[in-house]
Chains A and B, each alone.
Chain A
């Protein structure tokens, strides 16, 4: 009986010892339940004290308590020798690293004053594109790839599904990792090499999207695709609108007998070459040449009017309808490559 009591006492002490070992774990777990409640972005909870500090003042959770599981090991602080210990008068430190006059004046408009300078005071236009949020300017934000919005206010797409700018994937494997931005991958076979977008004109008979004429030449032919009637003349496709004819993108599936003057053969990387004219791609068919979508990886030297440069992360692409063109340089020549855009998994 005596031995049994001794054993029970010892066991109790050992259990108590074990519980003490467990205790810090429990305390620490509770501690982490009191994390910061503030979401990043200090503006919302910034006290309105009129302070003009760079971040609105330091925030600290009032309920924060640091566990005592690890003793404070902070060493004695080194006496401040290089910097005043309290307030730093704003005039005591010279602004040697950034003089206020460092911006060269040669870049400024010679006749402008502050109020007339462009850019920062540039009024936003009435672009109604979706895809932005908050108070960000509508005027300079575009939405996701594969949208059909375009700078022109002309109804160049004529509510059909014959867009010739939706890219066909290329079966050739890509040997470089894609450029990633915003949940999308931008694949290309050549490295990014920026050069400014300058629209190309295929001579006086060619017209960009949205171009309006009151009447057509007698040489124009009618092409019907899925109940939509187009008029073709010398590399231009028109639809009848507003008592006249408006140039639209070449409808996929349209077949012409003879390619317009000035076309070029472009390498798609596949067995089939494309014929390129005015931003449209053609393939040889039984009846002539049929409009096809661009194939990813196709290299072209010139892009027509109607494209626009878009900053995507740190790179600038030319968006032409649903096609994104990456500026590249091949054999010293500035060209564009059709980009394949894929959504990240």
Chain B
């Protein structure tokens, strides 16, 4: 009898340990992500500012770089991103037909034929040219499903204040990444902050804070056209392998 009890205790202990290593998908977190995704999916247009910091692998370790992005989107196929920061100053301009990468520092630009909607454009140029659009993840229409697919744990951590706004704190993790999102506690929730921590190497961090949201503004279509500045030069762009 003692042996049986011992075996059962061991089984219970193993089960408890195993469960600690199991994935946790928190329904509260999913509901919050769904609500934010649903609201973003209703937006016809928006502008916001993103304050970003990211780590770059340098010879002496991680180097921190800071950027401010002014993002303008009009559905379904117009987008401008103006990035200013410590390492690069550049503009992305997309008018539904063409995508322009303009380097402000170098006064040169690349023009590419573009897909006919923002998400396909973002996805296509990220895959083909490694172009990263700031905080684009939260605008994917399948955000929640993507997170469920890619993260073992998605947990609602509680409430927190970001820039004085009450937010829900969501944490998602897998073997490679720890992603944290702060989403406004509001009927129409918008993302307030995002942090990505890499679990490998030097534990690079990416942090982005959303500010100055402007929802459904009227924006002149001409804003999305690119007019080459004086003495600017059209150059080629290399695709990734």
Contacts and interface: CB of A to CB of B under 8 A. Distances in A.
Contacts of B116: 43
Given A41-B119, A52-B75, A59-B141, 9 more contacts: A36-B148, A53-B75, A61-B145, A67-B27, A73-B156, A83-B187, A98-B72, A119-B228, A182-B241
A119 B227 contact: yes
A107 B230 contact: yes
B239 A182 contact: yes
Nearest to A105: B227
Interface in B48-63: 49, 57-59
Given A60-B34, A73-B156, A119 B142 contact: no
A196 B239 CA distance: 21
A78 B186 CA distance: 6
B111 interface: yes
Contacts of B87: 314
B113 A52 contact: no
Given A309-B235, A314-B90, A135 B113 contact: yes
Contacts of B15: 18, 21-22, 25
A7 B146 contact: no
Contact of B141 (A14, A42, A91, A109): A42
Given A90-B45, A140-B234, A103 B74 contact: no
A216 interface: no
Contacts of A312: 238
Contacts of B46: 54
Size class of A's contact patch? 35 or more
A25 B14 CA distance: 12
Given A28-B23, A38-B145, A59-B141, A107 B229 contact: yes
Nearest to B95: A120
Contacts of B225: 114, 117, 120
Contact of B188 (A88, A90, A134): A88
Nearest to A18: B11
Contacts of A70: 24-28, 155
Contacts of B45: 54, 90
B141 A310 contact: no
Interface in A297-341: 308-314, 316
Contact of B47 (A69, A98, A117, A140): A98
Interface string A120-150: 1110100000011111110111111000000
B12 A54 contact: no
B70 A98 contact: yes
Nearest to A133: B128
Contacts of A7: 1
Nearest to A61: B145
Given A54-B75, A310-B237, A89 B216 contact: yes
B68 interface: no
Contacts of A43: 115-117, 119-120
A85 B12 CA distance: 49
B124 A134 contact: yes
A196 B149 CA distance: 45
Interface stretch (A155-163, A173-181, A269-277): A173-181
* 6 closest A-B pairs by CB: A36-B145, A58-B41, A100-B220, A182-B240, A95-B217, A35-B149
B141 to A, nearest CB: 4
Nearest to B223: A100
B43 A316 contact: no
Nearest to A107: B229
B86 interface: no
26 contacts: A15-B8, A18-B11, A18-B15, A38-B142, A41-B123, A43-B116, A54-B44, A54-B74, A54-B75, A66-B25, A77-B186, A80-B186, A93-B214, A95-B47, A95-B217, A95-B218, A100-B218, A120-B98, A122-B111, A134-B115, A135-B113, A136-B112, A140-B112, A140-B235, A141-B112, A316-B106
Contacts of B28: 70, 72-74
A119 B235 contact: no
Contacts of A204: none
A29 B23 CA distance: 8
Nearest to B220: A100
Contacts of A94: 217
Interface string B83-114: 00001101001010110110101111111110
